[in-house]
Amino acid sequence: MPVKTPSLPLSTEFFTDNLWGTLPCSWQEALDGLNPPQLAAQLLGMPGEGEVVRYRSVWPLTLLALKSTAYALAFTRTPGFQTPSEFLENPSQSSRLTAPFRKHVRPKKQHEIRRLGELVKKLSDLTGCTQVVDIGSGQGHLSRFMSLGLGLTVKSIEGDRRLVERAQRLDRELLQALEKEEKRSPQVTRAGPRHSPHHVVRWVEPTALCEELLLPLEPLPPCGARLLLTGLHACGDLSVALLRHFSCPEVVALASVGCCYMKLSEPGGYPLSQWVAGLRGSELPYRLREGACHALEDYAERLQRAGPGLRTHCYRAALETVIRGARPELRRPGVQGIPRVHELKIEEYVQRGLRRVGLDPQLPLNLAALRAHQAQENRVVAFFSLALLLAPLVETLILLDRLLCLQEQGFHAELLPIFSPELSPRNLVLVATKSPLGEAFSLLETEDS
Who contacts 206 (Cβ-Cβ below 8 Å, separation ≥6)? 237, 238, 240, 241, 244, 265, 268, 269
Helical axes 346-356 vs 311-326, angle rounded to 10°:
60
Who contacts 444 (Cβ-Cβ below 8 Å, separation ≥6)? 119, 122, 123, 416, 418, 431
CA distance from start to end of the chain: 44
| Regions in the chain scoring below 70 on pLDDT | 1-10, 81-84, 186-192, 218-223, 448-449
Q: What is the pLDDT of residue 83?
A: 54
Q: What is the pLDDT of residue 1?
A: 32
pLDDT tens, position by position, 234-247? 888 999 999 999 99
Cβ atoms 286, 9 nearer than 8 A = no
In angstroms, the CA 304 to CA 298 distance is: 10
In angstroms, the CA 417 to CA 43 distance is: 23
Cβ atoms 77, 423 nearer than 8 A = no
User: Cα dihedral angle (317, 319, 322, 327), rounded to 10 degrees?
Assistant: -90
Sheet holding 154-158, edge to edge: 198-201, 154-158, 131-135, 227-235, 251-259, 428-433, 412-417
Q: What is the pLDDT of residue 230?
A: 97
What burial class does residue 4 get, using C-beta atoms within 10 Å of its C-beta: 0-12 exposed, 13-18 middle, 19+ buried?
exposed
SS (H, E, C) 104-124: CCCHHHHHHHHHHHHHHHHHH
Cβ atoms 154, 146 nearer than 8 A = yes
Could you tell me how far CA 110 lies from the centroid of its own chain? 16
pLDDT tens, position by position, 165-182? 999 999 999 999 988 887
Q: What is the pLDDT of residue 267?
A: 77
Q: What is the pLDDT of residue 55?
A: 85
Q: What is the pLDDT of residue 143?
A: 97
Within a 10 A sphere around the Cβ of 67, how many other Cβ atoms?
A: 18
Who contacts 117 (Cβ-Cβ below 8 Å, separation ≥6)? 142, 145, 146, 149, 150
pTM: 0.87
Could you tell me how far CA 397 lies from the centroid of its own chain? 14
Pairing of strands 428-433, 251-259: antiparallel
Within a 10 A sphere around the Cβ of 162, how many other Cβ atoms?
A: 10
432 - beta bridge partners? 254, 413
